[in-house]
């Protein structure tokens, strides 16, 4: 079974934000919730790199572990999803998440911030695949259609890779060997406790 991962090749990422708007487009994500974002490091200085980040669908995901109501589950593709019916919007997952993925419809106070929302790896939620209710709560389910997350599919420079971890690691490895440099698989150590060895 495939073990789905994201890998952002920072030596390709140009902070074009296509991944961000592709996500908005695909799932009709409202203003204020960013399932994916691009962070620029060392801005304006030589060595500047941008990295597109969303839920990394960690191995042994911290969000799932700390959730007081166990609303998370991991699919056979190793995608970390959650149930908005069970979620109580407590925000613990955000504290535990190394990548800042969880978002809430309301901000200001902890009380009634609504159900957590995060990147689903375009794999919907616990409702029946491709149902309206699934779409409305979690967005579309491209995985069930045999497609990959739209952010990666639309990445302007093919910096953001999505797919089976071993395959995308291999692609990245080939790239680094070909071009002679690479700033690494950002977040992999934290998310998957492994990195792409070149």
Partner 1 sequence: MLIKRKTGGPGRNNRQTITIGETPRALDRRAFLRNSGLVAGGLAAAGAIQLGSVRKAEAAGASAIGSEVTVKKNICTHCSVGCTVTAEVVNGVWVGQEPSFTSPINRGTHCAKGAAIRELVSSDRRLKYPMKMVDGQWTRISWDQAIDEIGDKITGLRDKYGPDSVYWLGSAKFTNEAAYIFRKFGAFWGTNSVDHQARICHSTTVAGVANTWGYGAQTNSYNDIRNAKTMIILGGNPAEAHPVSLQHVLSGKEINRANMIVIDPRFTRTAAHATDYVRIRSGTDIPVVWGILWHVFENGWEDKEFISQRVYAMDDVRKEVAKWNPEEVERVSGVPGEQLRRVAEKFAKEKPATLIWCMGATQHTVGTANVRALCILCLATGNVGKPGTGANIFRGHTNVQGATDMGLDVTSLPLYYGLVEGAWKHWARVWDVEYDWLQSRFDEVPAKAGRKARTRKESMEAPGITSTRWFDGVNLPEEQVDQRTGIKAMMVFGHGGNTVTRLPEAVKGLTKLDLLVVADPHPTTFAALDARRDNTYLLPICTSLEMDGSRTASNRSIQWGEQIVKPAFESKNDYEVIYRLANKLGLADKMFKNIKVANNVPEAEDILREINRGGWSTGYCGQSPERLKAHMRNQAKFDLVTLRAPKDDPEVGGDYYGLPWPCWGKPELKHPGTHILYNTNLHIKEGGGTFRARFGTERNGVTLLAEDSYAKGSDLTDGYPEFTMAVFKKLGWDKDLTAEEMASITKTGGTNIDAVSWATDLSGGIQRVCLDHGVTPYGNGKARANAWNLPDPVPVHREPIYTPRPDLVAKYPTRPDERQLRMPNIGFSVQKAAVDRGIAKDFPIILTSGRLVEYEGGGEETRSNPWLAELQQDMFVEINTGDATDRGIKDGQFVWVSGPENNAKAKVKALVTDRVGKGVAFMPFHFSGWYQGDDMRKFYPHGTDPVVLGESSNNTTTYGFDPVTGMQETKCTLCQIRAV
Partner 2 sequence: MKAFIIALIVAVAIGTLAATVLNEQQRFAYQAFATSGARVSDPAGHSNLVGPKWNGVTPEPEKPSKS
Partner 3 sequence: MRRGPTLFRTLVAAAALTVSVGALSPALAQQTKDGLNPTGQNPTAESVNEEFLFKQDPKITGRISIPDHKAANLIQPAGRDYRAFRESWLPWIGALAVLGIIALLGAFYLWRGRIRLEPNADSGKTILRFGGFERFTHWMTSSCFIILSLSGLNYIFGKRLLMPLIGADAFGVISQYAKYSHIYLAWPFMIGVALMLVLWIKDNIPNRIDWQWIKAGGGFLGKGHPHAERFNAGQKMVFWMVVGFGSAMSITGLMMIFPFALTDITGMQVMQVVHSLIGVAFIAGILAHIYIGTLGMEGAYDAMGSGQVDLGWAKDHHDLWVAKEQAKTRNDSRISPHQVPAE
Q: Which residues bind partner 2 (CB under 8 A)?
A: 27-33, 84-85, 87, 89, 103-109, 111-115, 117, 132-133, 135-139
Q: Which does 95 bind (CB under 5 to 8 A by kind): partner 2, partner 3, partner 1, none?
A: partner 3
**In whole angstroms, how far apart are CA 27 and each of 22, 23, 195?**
9, 6, 30
Q: How far is the CB of 107 from partner 1 (least distance, A)?
A: 15
Which range in 116-124, 138-146, 154-162, 187-195 contacts partner 3 by CB under 8 A? 187-195
Going by DSSP bridges, is the β-strand pair 4-8/160-164 parallel, antiparallel, or unpaired? Answer: antiparallel
Sign of CA dihedral 62, 63, 66, 71: negative
Cβ-count burial 78-112 (b if 16+ within 10 Å, e if not)? bbbbbbbeebebbebbbebbebebbbbeeeeeeee
Q: Do residues 155 and 169 touch, judged by C-beta distance below 8 A? A: no
Q: How far is residue 95's CA from residue 32's CA, in Å, rounded to a whole number?
A: 19
Q: How far is the CB of 31 from partner 1 (least distance, A)?
A: 5
CA angle 123–127–128, rounded 5-degree value: 85
Residues 104-143 touching partner 3, rule: CB under 8 A, are 107-112
Q: Which does 8 bind (CB under 5 to 8 A by kind): partner 3, partner 1, partner 2, none?
A: none
The verdict on 172 binding partner 3 (CB under 8 A) reads no
Nearest to partner 1 of 49, 113 (CB atom): 49
Residue that the structure tokens 């999505």 belong to: 162
The verdict on 32 binding partner 1 (CB under 8 A) reads yes
Residues that bind partner 3 (CB under 8 A): 10-11, 32, 34, 37-43, 45-51, 53, 62, 65-71, 83, 85-92, 94-100, 107-112, 181, 183-184, 186-187, 189-190
């Amino acid at each position: 079974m495939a073990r789905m991962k994201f890998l952002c090749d920072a030596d390709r990422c140009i902070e074009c934000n296509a991944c961000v708007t592709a996500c908005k487009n695909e799932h009709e994500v409202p203003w204020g919730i960013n399932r994916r974002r691009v962070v620029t490091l060392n801005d304006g200085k030589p060595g500047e790199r941008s990295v597109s980040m969303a839920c990394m669908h960690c191995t042994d995901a911290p969000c799932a572990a700390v959730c007081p109501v166990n609303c998370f589950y991991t699919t056979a593709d190793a995608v970390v999803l959650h149930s908005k019916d069970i979620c109580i919007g407590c925000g613990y997952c955000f504290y535990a998440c190394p990548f800042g993925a969880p978002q809430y419809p309301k901000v200001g106070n902890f009380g009634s911030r609504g159900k957590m929302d995060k990147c689903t790896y375009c794999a919907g939620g616990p409702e029946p695949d491709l149902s309206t209710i699934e779409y409305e709560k979690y967005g579309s389910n491209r995985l069930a259609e045999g497609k990959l997350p739209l952010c990666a599919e639309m990445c302007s420079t093919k910096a953001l890779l999505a797919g089976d971890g071993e395959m995308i690691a291999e692609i990245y490895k080939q790239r680094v060997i070909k071009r002679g440099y690479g700033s690494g698989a950002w977040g992999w150590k934290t998310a998957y406790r492994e990195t792409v060895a070149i």
